[in-house]
Each structure stands twice: as structure tokens, then as C-alpha cells.
Amino acid sequence: MARILITSALPYINGIKHLGNLVGSQLPADLYARYQRGRGHEVMFICATDEHGTPAELAAAKAGKPVAEYCTELHEVQAGIARGFGLSFDHFGRSSSPQNHRLTQHFAGRLAEAGLIEEVAEKQMYSNADGRFLPDRYIEGTCPNCGYDRARGDQCENCTKQLDPTDLINPRSAISGSTDLEVRETKHLFLRQSAMRDRLNDWIDEKTDWPVLTTSIAKKWLNDGDGLQDRGITRDLDWGIPVRKGDQDWPGMEGKVFYVWFDAPIEYIAATAEWAEARGLDDAAWRRWWRTDEGAGDVRYVQFMGKDNVPFHTLSFPATIMGSGEPWKLVDYIKSFNYLNYDGGQFSTSQGRGVFMDQALSILPSDYWRWWLLSHAPENSDSEFTWENFQTSVNKDLADVLGNFVSRITKFCRSKFGETVPEGGAQASAEEALIADLTTRVRAYQANMDAMEVRKSATELRAIWVAGNEYLQSAAPWSTFKTDPAQAAAQVRLGLNLIRLYAILSRPFIPDAAEAMMQAMGSDDWSWPEDVAAALSALPPGHAFTVPDVMFRKITDEEREDWQTRFAGLRT
């Protein structure tokens, strides 16, 4: 049994996320966690809300609430939506937790002792109207690279170019909108990433199995221009983790907090500590996942994230871990994703354009969304959500293929043999051919899931569903029954066992439907089908089952048109 640590990039606290955010990190991470648990491995699946930095302060101010209160409320909202989508986190933590305060300050102290933190006097924007220094995300303006007029002072979300506030054209305060800004001197701490460049480069070179998307972004940041730059890790904000060296004050840094991108990845570790404390476990319970000198040496650590988060996870966070000089677990594999676009454009919170996670759950159950998003995951390039494609995928894959198979075989059995698995007959060449085909396909499915090839896994799973339908159509037990009831019984028996097999294989993708299938088959044995032939005889003659309700309903043209209009947003 392997031990697998899985983390998903932390969603920002400032509001409910759209479907592109979901498929870029949390959902594929859940797919992998569910699959590995299904194979019998020990899994620790961690995520949390990212609660510090400018977005939290601005969102709280807009809501008219103290930032701590706002974050507590939004954490509960995001946790509830995650449950609604069946995200099987072992713990969904908070970056504002006491555990993250302690660990962030601990790492800062260790980095300072190693000579990897430098105090730098720098010029920073000061807003006379607001009476304060403006951290980079408090400044908006026009991107000098692409001309986007709402670029932030740290990065342009349109072209993803990293920026400094002074790079922006026509900068303005994100708080008041004032352009009455001036440059003043202030002091901040910088992580000397440049001193870690060679070590990081060698470490990345070792990761020959990483996706091209991950390594190409990491190498670009390492080698473009002047190479890897030192990065500020403090900000002039009220909300955040106070700057300290472990449990000691940091002279000259009074009133400052750590930069959100310094403390957020450390929350992966802290959230595991939160998990242990919530269960009344001692520190050894979480340290065995993170300290290689305390049991984490045999852990495989996998991270999931969108491509915009790759630089921080391939460079900044590893620099923090390595630079500490302590035996913390480094990531083994980073699965990164491109962007999901929406119906000819981009998702937009400000314009209300696109489907957000709470809206999705209000119109259809989570499995409909899970299936489409995972089967269209933006792995090798950006992908696009369209209502036409969504309708087609749900109606054909879920309703016509999987749902129809379950309905036909259970209803036919009930009408001819009752609600127990029928006895009699024997497997013929058609059944043996199906078992051989499924054995090959299940192995291919496993290989794709092990490799985190999400779309290929979905394609193989659908092919497994289709194989059962094709067998049922060819065997036609409703016709066989007229001349050879015993053989029809054997065909139906195989079909009922196929439903149980489908439940096990489909559970990572569509967990609610899988539970319904397994419950209908009167079984709670989720053992992975290492032997497909044996799995297809797991339900013996006489075993009781029930006919489930409709597994998946079809989306009508009227619904599709209504949703397309409702979520179009304000078009420009």
C-alpha cells in the first residue's frame, strides 16, 4: 500500500469560484484522490482557503465587514460548495489558521538564519487619498505588455506577465480609484531566490516525468531575461501573518505581514496539522506526511494547479522548503492545467459571465458537471465550455450510454426473473469476448489514471460503458428469453455484475451515481477489479437488487437555451 499526499491549489477567499477554477485544480485532484483510495492506498488530500492579501481586504471592504469575519463566512461558503461537488478533502483548512502563522514564521526564521532573506529599501506607491502604502494588488492600471486596462501591480491576469506597480501605465488606487499617487521609500524582506537558482534548476531537471506545461513554465521563469529574480515576501497590510523570525520580533518589520504567496503554499503543511488537531491526534500524525526524517520518505507528493500557479510551486515554495535546511517533503509531481474558457470568451466575475460553482449546483446535480469538466479537462491546451457541447455530452455519455444500460438490464430482469440475480445458463463466447475486452480496457483505464491523464481516462471509461451496451444490444436477452431462458439468465447475470463494475470504475468521476448503482445492486464491496472475470461474478445467483430511479435525465433544448441566455453576462 502506497502513501500519497495530494494538494490542490488554494482558492482565494474573495467569492465563489467559476467552473474553470474548479477543473484547474480541485476537481482533478479529487479524481486522483478517489482513484488512489479505490486502489487501496493511503491518501492525504489537502486544500484550504487562501485568506490573506489584498483580495481578501478589498472583498471584505466591499461587503462592509471586518476582514476576519468575512473570511470566516466565505470559508464556510466555499467548504459547503466543495461538499456539494463531492470534493473528498481529508481536510479543507484556512491559511489564517494558528498553525499557518507558526509555520510561516518558522520558515522565515530558518531562511534568515541561512542568509536567504535580505532587507531591501524600495520605492513603493503611496496613496495620499488613502493615507497608506499600496501593496501591488492595491494598484491597477494598464499593462505595458498587452494593454489590458485592469492589470494589477503584481501581474496582468490577461497576459500573465509578472509586473511591478511602477510598470503600470496610468496607475490608480484599487481602494479609492485615486490617481494621486507618489513613490515613497519603504523596507521589505526579499527571498533570495537567485541564490537557489542552480539548485532549483537541477531539481527540476530531475523531474523528467513532469508535464511539458509544468516544466516549460518553470524553465521560462528560471532562464528568461536575467533569470530567477529575488522576490519580496512582505507587504504593508493590516491583514496577514505578522512578520516574525519564529517566535521572535523582526526589528524594522513592525506592522508588516508576510506576502500571501509566501504563506499560502506553507498552508499545505499547516492544513495537515489542522487535520491532526481536529481529530485529537499528536504532531507525529501530520509530520509523517511532511518530514522525511519522521516517516515521509516513502510518501509520493502530487500537486494540482492551473498554469498561473506553476511558478510559485516550482520555484518559490521549493526555494522556501530547500532553503530552510530542514528535511521537509518536496513535491514529486506537479499536474498543471491550461484555462477553461466560456462560450467564446472568458469567465468574468465582474460581468457575471459564465457558470459559477454555486450556480452550477442550483441547476443540475454535481455528477453532470464533474463528468463534463473532467472529460474536457484543459490538459494540453485551453478548452472551452459551450452549452451545446455540455448538453450533447450529458445526453449521450451519461443518459444514453450509462444510464440507459442500468435501466434496461434492471427493468428487464425484474420483469422476467424478479429482483434477484437469476441463476442458470453459462457464459458463451460472447460473454468471454466481453470479459477479455474489458480486462484490456480496465488495465488501460488504470494506466491512464496512474499517469493522471484525465481526458484519456474519461475516454477509456466511456468505452467501458459502451462495451456493455454493445454486448447487451448484441446478446439481446429479451429475444434469447423466448427460446432459451437459462441463457438469458446468464446474460442478465453478467449485465447486473457489469453495473457493480461500472460503479467501482466510475466512482472517481461520478461518485453520487456510482453510490446509487452500488446501492441498487445491494452491495457495499468496493474492491478494485484486479481480476475482471472475478468481478463480473461477484453478485451470485439469488442476490437481491433494486431498480434504481433514472440515473441521468436529458437536458432539453429549452433548458440549454435558457441557461445560455442566463449566464451570458454583460457582453461588450
CATH number at residue 351: 3.40.50.620
Query: Is 520 a domain residue?
Result: yes
Q: Are residues 267 and 379 in the same domain?
A: yes
| Same-domain check for residues 391 and 529 | yes
Q: Are residues 287 and 380 in the same domain?
A: yes
Same domain flag for 228 and 298: no
303 and 441 within one domain = no
Is 71 annotated as a binding-site member?
A: no
pLDDT at 158: 86
Decide which of 368, 384, 400 is a domain's last residue. 384
pLDDT in tens, the chain (572 residues): 899 999 999 999 998 999 999 999 999 999 999 999 999 999 999 999 999 988 898 889 889 999 999 999 999 999 999 999 999 999 999 999 999 999 999 999 999 999 999 999 988 888 999 888 887 878 999 999 999 998 988 888 888 888 888 889 999 998 889 999 998 888 999 999 999 999 999 999 999 999 999 999 999 999 886 778 999 999 988 899 999 999 999 999 998 999 999 999 999 999 999 999 999 999 999 999 999 999 999 999 999 999 999 999 999 999 999 999 999 999 999 999 999 999 988 898 778 889 999 999 999 999 999 999 999 999 999 999 999 999 999 999 999 999 999 999 999 999 999 999 999 988 889 999 999 999 999 999 999 999 999 999 999 999 999 999 999 999 999 999 999 999 999 999 999 999 999 999 999 999 999 999 999 999 999 999 999 999 999 999 999 999 999 999 999 999 999 999 999 986 43
Terminal Cα distance for the chain, rounded: 54
Chosen domain end from 353, 384, 415: 384
Question: Measured between alpha carbons, how far is 46 from 92 in angstroms, rounded to an integer?
Answer: 6
Cα–Cα distance between 244 and 255 in angstroms, integer? 11
**What pLDDT sits at residue 419?**
97
Number of folded domains that form the chain: 3
Whichever domain contains 145, its CATH number is 2.170.220.10
Assign 258 to helix, strand or coil. strand
349 is in an annotated binding site: yes
Cell of 363: 441547476
* pLDDT tens digits, 138-184: 899 999 999 999 898 888 888 888 888 888 999 999 888 999 999 88
The Cα–Cα gap between 35 and 28 comes to: 11
Domain range for 153: 114-196+211-232
Do 421 and 441 share a domain, yes or no? yes
Q: What is the pLDDT of residue 244?
A: 97
Residues 178 and 226 in one domain: yes
How far is 57 from 508, CA to CA, in rounded Å?
36
Distance CA 130, CA 180 (A): 9
**46 and 139 housed in the same domain:** no
141 shares a domain with 101:
no
Q: Is 146 known as a binding-site position?
A: yes
What is the value of pTM for the model shown? Answer: 0.93
Residue 245 lies in a domain: no
| Residue 549 within a domain | no
Q: Are residues 494 and 353 in the same domain?
A: no
Of residues 70, 22, 72, the one with CA closest to residue 47: 22
Query: 134: closest CA among 126, 142, 144, 146?
Result: 126
Locate 538 and state its grid cell: 461477484
Residue owning grid cell 446468464: 490
Q: What whole-number distance in Å separates Cα of residue 388 and Cα of residue 314?
A: 37
Boundary residue ending a domain (384, 402, 423): 384
Whether residues 427 and 492 fall in one domain: yes
One domain, residues 55 and 132: no
- 47 annotated ligand-binding residue: no
3-state SS assignment for residue 303: strand
Residue 160 lies in a domain: yes
Query: Cell 484550504 appears where?
Result: 48
